[in-house]
Chains A and B, each alone.
Chain A
């Protein structure tokens, strides 16, 4: 194997797709890690949660075209699978945003460290727990529904024969 081979392989995946893939991978890993509260401890848990807020916005911005296009197509004839995907993604968006926002509002370590007084209360505490439970389930469904894209890009990034199996510059959200 020559040194040029990996370079050729990397070039075969468009830059936007690669960025997309790594942002998505980082979010998924961070979320799974963050959901293991006893493992991370409070402080790490909260800082990961804070970091997830901009990461989620970047993810959504990278797929904004898909969001707009799919939402417009919902009114016409549209495959049931795409409708399910859209509904799952909408629920996931709401659950993730509420989870991160409520986590910031009830923060006991990260936010007080930068001078933010937490807005505590049973509603936000309860919402944080409920949204986190829902998010883990929806995240798994979301990853499952987009598995083809994940597998396809993974093969092109890490696979042995990138030219045989092509991945599109996918629009999976």
Chain B
């Protein structure tokens, strides 16, 4: 019963965070994380109606690219995305290794700093 109460409290806290996220999405600050800025040089108001621009407009509206509309770098990106769609790929284990190593390095750094801070200084009276 106690665990259930805690679970409900945790769910309420998580819901509050999601609510904050939704509010953020509707605020002018949404552009801070929006991935629009990662695609420089595209202005929907100045679109020339090319296949590439139509593909980009489609991506912005639906969040995905239509493969038959994509060309050039968009097609390459689409192909990359599609390759990631077929399940676990052992040939891409290097990405997993990279994540493990970077997490491990950062964690080790925190542990080293933490241990140094905890170590008592010799000769100084401890409170």
Contacts and interface: CB of A to CB of B under 8 A. Distances in A.
Interface residues of B, number: 52
B38 to A, nearest CB: 8
A116 interface: no
Contacts of B7: 57-58, 61
A38 B18 contact: no
A38 B99 CA distance: 11
A61 B3 CA distance: 7
A87 interface: no
A121 B35 CA distance: 9
A108 to B, nearest CB: 6
Interface string B102-122: 111011111100100100000
Contacts of A42: 81, 84-85
B10 A137 contact: no
A36 B99 contact: yes
B84 A41 contact: yes
A43 B100 contact: no
A51 interface: no
Contact of B102 (A136, A143, A144, A145): A136
Contacts of B6: 60-62, 64-65
A93 interface: yes
Interface string B29-51: 01001111010000000000000
Given A38-B89, A126-B34, A98 B84 contact: no
Interface centre among B64, B95, B103 (most CB of A within 10 A): B103
A94 interface: yes
B72 interface: no
Interface string B5-33: 01101110110011011001100001001
A65 B114 CA distance: 24
A161 interface: no
Contacts of A41: 84-89
Contacts of A130: 33
Given A33-B96, A121-B63, A123-B34, A97 B18 contact: yes
B77 interface: no
Contact of B13 (A35, A37, A93, A106): A93
B108 A98 contact: no
A144 B113 CA distance: 9
16 contacts: A36-B95, A38-B92, A39-B89, A41-B88, A43-B85, A60-B6, A60-B10, A60-B14, A98-B18, A118-B63, A120-B62, A125-B63, A126-B38, A127-B25, A129-B33, A140-B106
Interface of A: 32-33, 35-45, 56-58, 60-62, 64-65, 81, 93-94, 97-98, 101-102, 106, 108-109, 118, 120-127, 129-130, 136-137, 139-141, 143-145, 147
